[in-house]
Homo-oligomer: A and B are copies of this chain.
Amino acid sequence: MVFLFISLQKKEMIDTVKNRRTIRKYQQKDISCNLLNDLLETSFRASTMGGMQLYSVVVTRDAEKKAQLSPAHFNQPMVKGAPVVLTFCADFNRFSKWCKERDAEPSYNNLMSFLNAAMDTLLVAQTFCTLAEEAGLGICYLGTTTYNPQMIIDALGLPELVFPITTVTVGYPAEEPKQVDRLPMEGLIHEEEYHDYSTEDINKLYAYKESLDENKEFIKENGKETLAQVFTDVRYTKKDNEFMSENLMKVLGRQGFI
């Protein structure tokens, strides 16, 4: 009699991504330097414009530093609550310094270079996040980074040609939230050409989102009539967008990118 056990227990990475959720509450447990550095070093293998690696990552573990960063992120509790806060910065400073040391004249003080560096930075940030989740950690992106860039620049001492693009809080999960909804993929993919959306398309694409109890609750809480109004009138308003756009230009100028 022969028993043949084949264990094909390979956990597929794609399943980790399929099941992912943003984690905002973390265990009181440090992330070891070894693990963090391995994840970061690996993420630096992400594609980069011309091999230039136009980014820097500032690692915050110190409680005082977190307290300094916290208001820039509207005091969202993840900043003080996570063992590690990572500020991913577009960085043309290092590359430009290298040029100057090698009889070359850098000219990366412009919008195109900012965008190139921002892209490099985001590819690294997202590679890090995917790897971190695969390693059992939870992450949260803080979109507030570009709303209050000057506060972050001051807190972290970022020189000219360095600009904070996004912040990720990381830690071992202390919650397992419900997975949030996504639009049906046919609404996000266009075959060969962009197919603009008719009223009917929009109704179909947003039907599930609008049907969710939590979103109906969200409308009530905010005293609005539609979910879209919560976005336009409360969360991402004209006034805020215009103020932050102006501020962004100002700080990009101060950091030497415009």
**Partner-B contacts on A (CB < 8 A):** 1-11, 13-14, 16-18, 20, 22, 37-47, 49-53, 55-62, 65, 89, 93-95, 97-99, 101-108, 110-113, 115-116, 118-119, 122-123, 125-127, 129-131, 134-135, 139-141, 143, 146-147, 156-159, 162, 165-166, 180-183, 185, 187-194, 196-197, 199, 202-203, 205-206, 225-229, 231-233, 235-238, 241-242, 244-245, 248-249
Contact = CB atoms under 8 A, between A and B. Distances in A.
A180 B53 CA distance: 12
A62 B245 contact: no
Given A57-B190, A194-B157, A248 B8 contact: no
User: In this complex, which of A190, A193, A197 has the most chain B Cβ atoms within 10 angstroms of its Cβ?
Assistant: A190
Contacts of A52: 231, 236
B2 A4 contact: yes
A233 B103 CA distance: 11
B122 A126 contact: yes
B20 A45 contact: yes
Given A7-B7, A13-B134, 16 more contacts: A10-B11, A13-B13, A17-B131, A49-B143, A93-B196, A94-B202, A101-B199, A103-B229, A104-B232, A106-B228, A107-B238, A112-B146, A112-B147, A115-B118, A126-B127, A159-B196
A96 B50 CA distance: 35
Closest 6 CB pairs of A and B: A107-B238, A104-B228, A102-B228, A13-B13, A102-B226, A122-B122
A56 B186 CA distance: 10
Given A59-B189, A110-B242, A162-B194, A104 B10 contact: no
30 contacts: A2-B2, A3-B3, A3-B4, A14-B134, A22-B47, A40-B188, A40-B189, A44-B183, A44-B188, A50-B236, A51-B181, A52-B231, A53-B182, A55-B188, A58-B192, A59-B191, A62-B192, A89-B194, A99-B232, A104-B228, A107-B232, A108-B241, A111-B248, A112-B248, A115-B118, A115-B248, A119-B166, A123-B126, A126-B130, A130-B130
A141 B47 contact: yes
Nearest to A135: B14
Contacts of A196: 93, 159
B58 A190 contact: yes
Contacts of A60: 192
A43 B189 CA distance: 12
B185 A37 contact: yes
